[in-house]
Amino acid sequence: MIYKKFTIFIDESGTLPDPKDKIVIVAAVGVDVPNELLDINNKVRKKIKFLKKEKEISEIKFYRAGERTKIFYLKKMAEKEIDIFALIVEKDKMKITDNPNNFAILTYFLIEECLLFYGKGKGIKEIIFDKHFSRQKDQEEFTKLLLKFLDADFIIKHWDSKNNIGVNAADMAAGSLLWKYTKKDERFYDIIKKRIVSEKFLNWKQIKRKFFNETKNL
């Protein structure tokens, strides 16, 4: 039997350290043919070249795109054979340090959902993160911790979204989910809802407690 190998793109919306952000979303987009996401980007670029305010933007991000661009991009996402996974983190007005350890814990729970869906050891080709940490040292520490937590040996890469179009899809998914769960606007979420495989809700205290229970034998 020949198994498909999926590439997972991950990005987040909301910030850990800011207590004003009640929710943080970490979203993953899984696809077996990453060029499908490039195709979305190319179609959106053709569309927005006629929009004066948006044709000059360097990359298509949820918070930079206008309403029409968001809707068009998300509709194209919904047409593709992609899978969306989301971790919805309720912060309880806490200020959470944004460091490699805490971000590795968050993404551990998200990737576990991906593994349940795709299967451990055979379904995932590589995991590509938007460059959350600018310092190489932090990226390496994060990668080391995440692989230890997962007890796995995946290929993990950190890309600037300007250099890897696939990361933008995860950004668009995360932004849509954040706007839904902060009750700002549900329309964008509704467009991609049929592609969402998993939405896992946890608050930060649960995450720390659950993480300790699941990894104490590592």
The verdict on residue 123 lying in a domain is: yes
- Give me the CATH number covering residue 144: 3.30.420
The verdict on residue 45 lying in a domain is: no
The verdict on residue 10 lying in a domain is: yes
The verdict on residue 61 lying in a domain is: no
Closest by CA position to 85, among listed 180, 179, 199: 199
The verdict on residue 177 lying in a domain is: yes
In this predicted structure, what is the pLDDT of residue 26? 97
Q: How confident is the model at residue 50 (pLDDT cuts 50, 70, 90)?
A: low
Closest by CA position to 174, among listed 156, 158, 162, 192: 192
pLDDT at residue 218 tops 70: no
Which two tokens mark 13?
A: 């919306």
pLDDT at residue 180 tops 90: yes
The verdict on residue 28 lying in a domain is: yes
CB of 84 closer than 8 Å to CB of 173: yes
In this predicted structure, what is the pLDDT of residue 206? 83
In this predicted structure, what is the pLDDT of residue 162? 76
Between 218 and 130, residue with greater pLDDT: 130
Provide CB contacts within 8 A for 27, sequence distance 6+: 10, 11, 12, 13, 84, 85, 86, 87, 110, 170, 173, 174, 177
The verdict on residue 202 lying in a domain is: yes
The verdict on residue 64 lying in a domain is: no
Which two tokens mark 169?
A: 């899809």
pLDDT at residue 58 tops 70: no
SS (H, E, C) 137-173: HHHHHHHHHHHHHHCCCCEEEEECCCCCCHHHHHHHH
Provide CB contacts within 8 A for 208, sequence distance 6+: 105
Count of structural domains within the chain:
1
Which element (helix H / strand E) includes 48?
helix 35-48
The boundaries of the domain holding residue 122 are 6-37+82-215
Most confident listed range (12-26, 50-64, 180-194, 204-218): 180-194
